[in-house]
Structure 1
């Protein structure tokens, strides 16, 4: 009965989330302040409900709830909403909430409607440790930073296209200038790369201690290091070669696709990442 009630609450969150994204999309098309304000407050309510359930889950389990894919998807969605609201309030980047929460809505929908929440919880409880919790938390935070960076680069490409075609209008004025979008995208990758590096190092240490049949050539391990290497190359090109603008934005968009492939596909093929299976 409790599980059914929780499912209904999750469905309510999804409905509110959907209305928020729909209102943000409407604002994107017609530029209406009242619609944008309503979307913001709906998203804030979603964030509040998610935060309450996250804290309740922590109290119930006595740990940080990220050890299964069910929990991980929930935390990932919460991170995306938190970052989008924070960046919007601090930097007033128009459309950041809309584009980011299209991703967040997809993640939350997977969490709510995919029947996988109980498949690995028992094993997760057996293998729980502070090291593992830190590893997963830092990995998801890095994915959150990469996600927002991807959204900013996408906005950069949209703005660049509008400027190139000389499509002057309210939408052009509402999207931030290219240099700000480029700088914020870069800063988020600067945050995400060391978080991912530290997460991988902690994960390898934990795996060597806890998993007797650990393989370095596991698909998730290889995929994660590929993500780190390609983002590091991005950083080298951005800083040392001083390549800016459209080309680096396209590269950043492509890198995020690699993040998604690693998160979903490589995780499902992993031999020991029960969190993703």
Structure 2
């Protein structure tokens, strides 16, 4: 059973990694990222197909399909459709959105099934959902911290250049273009990771059967954080907003994210750390 659990976890992580590459290609056309995303998604499809075939072979034909089998087939079909669309129509946004839904369905299906739970007495399936949820969320926070640091460097360099102040420190920092680009890449990495983490958070709340948790201050603020970074990407990619304003907005988004820690310790009913 533990082996199966690791297989499920590996599928979830590989699925998330494939979507990370797809998101990277969507915000900035990158053939290498798209190939990696397609390859990883194809591997997820192979794992799902093998699992599905084995279950169909051993399925008791005198009984109807269980909810687990039905949802698993739904997730498999979503991956299949997305791969077909990616191959023949090349609609990257469609592929990404469909697979975010497929990822959420697969995670909810795995972690709501008691048979997926490891055999360790001190570790239950809800803990496992939280572990992966926290892993993605922390990784996204790291990416956003990196983005904020580069945005701060951008604002410092911009001000120094505008005032025509040349210092040795400036020579040791990347150019404006590079700091802007590095900040952008960090947000591109952090945004889908936060989305995956929040998707698993939705799964965890669903397993608790307490819908009031959806209105927890930290949960609500997390949506504002996600929207803030999505709006950053919208400004950069579609509005072509100048780097100075983007850096300011990036720091503002980081400030909203920092509020999550305040909400966690003082206002959240289930995200308290101390």
Into which bin does the TM-score normalised by the smaller protein fall? 0.5 to 0.7
1:169 to partner: Cα distance: 2.3
Within 5 A, what are the aligned runs for 1:1-277? 129-210=127-208, 212=210, 214-274=212-272, 276-277=273-274
1:140 to partner: Cα distance: 0.6
- Partner of 2:214: helix, strand, or coil? coil
Q: Does the aligned pair in 2 maintain the 1:214–1:272 contact within 8 Å?
A: no
Q: Structure 1: which 5+ residue stretches go unaligned?
A: 1-123
Larger Rg: 2
TM-score with structure 1 setting the length: 0.52
Q: Structure 2: which 5+ residue stretches go unaligned?
A: 1-121
1:266 to partner: Cα distance: 4.5
Structure 1 stretches (4+) deviating beyond 4 angstroms? 124-128
RMSD: 2.0
Q: Does the aligned pair in 1 maintain the 2:205–2:211 contact within 8 Å?
A: no
Q: Does the aligned pair in 2 maintain the 1:139–1:195 contact within 8 Å?
A: yes
CA distance in 1, matches of 2:207, 2:199: 13
TM-score with structure 2 setting the length: 0.52
Match in the other structure for 2:42 = none
CA distance in 2, matches of 1:268, 1:229: 23
| Between 164-173 and 260-269, the greater mean CA deviation after superposition | 260-269
CA distance in 2, matches of 1:213, 1:234: 30
